[in-house]
């Protein structure tokens, strides 16, 4: 099975590209979705995260309020590192299990793992190929303001904390620019998919 990492900057369109690849026949794993699951009350990271960050991050029903948790680590690298240490190992284990299941069911298939910090975390090295999704910074800001209902200062701060796109490009085997129309993006996704299909596994 061909293992492909899919990453990119804030609000660049990773999810759109991932879902387009899934429509073409790839097996898609979304790390963010796995992160949600391990933070559920039944999830592996729940107890440790609540113990570390306190009951103030909880909703009335006992679930973790992800916005409150995000506020606890926003602009605090040490606290973010602590959160990542509690959550990421469980996410990686779930990813590994899913990849194993897909490989068993479809040995000649393609599995795509969509995650924001593949390069920063060094986990890009575990994939056969890496796709980078990018767009113009002004588009990142506009899309994030619309999607996350955040203010411009907060969005810019989040972008500045990420690795610059020019640096990320050095690690990528394929770049998908989502600055144009959806049709243009889907055309490029198809080109990348066809290239991946030609790789012997």
Q: Mean pLDDT lowest for which of 25-34, 134-143, 177-186?
A: 134-143
Q: Decide if 6 contacts 115 (C-beta within 8 A).
A: yes
Average confidence (pLDDT) over 8-32: 96
Average confidence (pLDDT) over 49-65: 97
pTM: 0.91
Task: Report the SS3 class of residue 86.
Answer: helix
Q: Which superfamily is assigned to 30-106 in CATH? A: P-loop containing nucleotide triphosphate hydrolases (3.40.50.300)
In the chain, residues under CATH classification 3.40.50.300 are: 1-26+109-201, 30-106
Whether residue 200 has pLDDT greater than 90 = no
Give the percent of the chain with pLDDT over 70. Answer: 100
Edge-to-edge strands of the sheet including 110-114? Answer: 27-30, 110-114, 2-8, 129-134, 174-177
Dihedral sign from CA coordinates of 33, 185, 154, 171: positive
The reported pLDDT for the residue numbered 151 is 80
Whether residue 201 has pLDDT greater than 80 = no
Average confidence (pLDDT) over 165-179: 96
Query: Phi and psi (nearest 5°) for 71?
Result: -65, -30
Q: Decide if 173 contacts 130 (C-beta within 8 A).
A: yes
Give the percent of the chain with pLDDT over 90. Answer: 78
Architecture of domain 1-26+109-201: 3-Layer(aba) Sandwich (3.40)
Backbone region of residue 26 per phi and psi (left: phi > 0; alpha: psi in -120 to 50; beta: other values)? beta
Residue 36: burial class (beta carbons within 10 Å; 0-12, 13-18, 19+):
middle
The reported pLDDT for the residue numbered 77 is 87
pLDDT band at 93 (very low <50, low <70, confident <90, very high): very high
pLDDT tens-digit map of 110-164:
999 999 889 988 899 999 999 999 999 999 988 988 887 778 888 888 888 888 9
Q: How far apart are CA 60 and CA 181, in angstroms?
A: 42
């Amino acid at each position: 099975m061909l293992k492909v990492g899919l990453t990119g900057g804030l609000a660049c369109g990773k999810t759109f590209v991932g879902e387009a690849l899934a429509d073409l026949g790839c097996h898609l794993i979304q790390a963010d979705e796995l992160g949600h699951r391990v933070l559920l009350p039944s999830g592996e990271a729940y107890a440790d995260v609540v113990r570390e960050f306190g009951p103030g991050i909880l909703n009335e029903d006992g679930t973790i309020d992800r916005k409150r948790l995000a506020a606890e680590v926003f602009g605090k690298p040490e606290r973010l590192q602590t959160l990542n240490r509690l959550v990421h190992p469980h996410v990686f284990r779930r990813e590994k299990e899913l990849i194993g299941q897909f490989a068993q069911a479809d040995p000649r298939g393609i599995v795509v793992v969509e995650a924001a910090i593949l390069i920063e975390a060094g986990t890009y090295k575990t994939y056969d190929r890496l796709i980078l999704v990018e767009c113009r910074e002004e588009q990142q800001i506009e899309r994030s303001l619309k999607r996350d209902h955040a203010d411009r200062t907060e969005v810019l701060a989040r972008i500045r904390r990420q690795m610059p796109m020019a640096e990320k490009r050095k690690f990528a085997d394929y770049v998908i620019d989502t600055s144009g129309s959806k049709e243009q993006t889907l055309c490029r996704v198809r080109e990348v998919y066809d290239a991946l299909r030609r790789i012997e596994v």
